Amino acid sequence: MPPLVSVLITVFNREEYLASAVESVLSQTLTDFELIIVDDCSKDRSLEIARSYKTDLRVKAFSNEHNLGQFPNRMRAAELARGRYVKYVDSDDVIYRHSLSAMVEALDAHPDAALALSHSSPDDQQPYPWKLSPAEAWRKEFLGRGCLSAGPSAAILRRDALFEIGGFGHWGAINDIDLWYRMAARWPVVLLPPGLVWWRRHDKQTLTEEEAPIVYLEQGFGLTMATLSSPECPLSEAERASALKRARQYHARRLLSLAGRRRQPQQAWRLFRKSGIGFRGLLRGFRRYQ
């Protein structure tokens, strides 16, 4: 009989942190899960550490023949999964003992939803968990305070929906956000309370690389514009137009900050020319949001 949840840990050179991630999964109060660890040709002891946990029959450790990269390896892990739900845990993160139970209970209570996310900051709208329709989720994300910008460790999703929608796309470091956007356009989303995940910060992460802020700025704006222009956008035409205007204004603000406060005018100029927002749009970055 397949497990209820497939917990997926994908690994590349994380020997310092992998054991903590694995042990946080094995200590869960909910026990109906399998743990699949897929090593992506690590050059350190990551695979050895993963295999050391195979004495627990819930743990399965695999090694890729060739390095796939972050998101293809996440899909490789999902292909090996047998559970109804897929729960990613990054190999340098830790989930608290009650995390799986809270996530599964929320999705079980809302079977029409395909995705649940634990955001990093609390929202005072109503007690958690709560469900948003596609239009409500997009409205909150693009016209409100946001709700879909969470990493894989904060998410639990239906495995059938992951494959139905085609898995991760081609947006590089923000492939996870692209997936949440596309899933939220088709199925309801359940918002979970914050504090279900401990995100570790260290100098080997992509987001700590010197060029990371520029990459995220450029890719984030491109993804937002492409998403809001998609035919699957569940917003009304008026809401879509307002969201696009807001996205351009927000990007203008960040470009102005990049040029001034962060003293990178050449990078700001390059991104400005690529953005297509024009000088009038750039000046809107000085205005308040309407």
pLDDT of residue 56: 96
pLDDT of residue 205: 56
Question: Which two three-digit tokens encode residue 135?
Answer: 């239009």
Full DSSP string of 115-148: EEEE-SS--SSSSSSEEE-HHHHHHHHHHSS-S-
Please choose, from the candidates 148, 151, 152, the residue with its C-alpha nearest in 3D space to the C-alpha of residue 189: 148
Q: For the chain, what is the mean pLDDT?
A: 93
Mean pLDDT for the stretch of residues 26-34: 97
Question: May I ask the CATH class of domain 5-198?
Answer: alpha beta
pLDDT of residue 223: 96
pLDDT of residue 208: 46
Place of tokens 């990093």: 120
Using a 10 angstrom Cβ sphere, with 0-12 exposed, 13-18 middle and 19 or more buried, the burial of residue 41 is: middle
- Per the model's pLDDT, the better-predicted residue between 262 and 70 turns out to be 70
The pLDDT tens digits of the residues spanning 127-166 come to 899 999 999 999 999 999 899 989 999 999 999 999 999 9
Chain mean position to CA 109: 22
Counting residues of the chain whose pLDDT is more than 90, the rounded percentage is 82
Domain-wise residue ranges, the chain: 5-198, 207-286
Neighbours of 166 (CB within 10 A): 10
Contact predicate 85/4, CB 8 Å? yes
| Residue 7 reports pLDDT greater than 90 | yes
Least confident of 17-26, 68-77, 213-222: 213-222
Query: Is residue 199 very low, low, confident or very high in pLDDT (cuts 50, 70, 90)?
Result: confident
Q: 126-165: buried (b, 16+ CB within 10 Å) or exposed (e) per residue?
A: eebbebbebebbbbbbbbeeebbbbbbbbbbbbbebbeeb
| Residue 210 reports pLDDT greater than 60 | no
Counting residues of the chain whose pLDDT is more than 70, the rounded percentage is 95
pLDDT of residue 154: 94
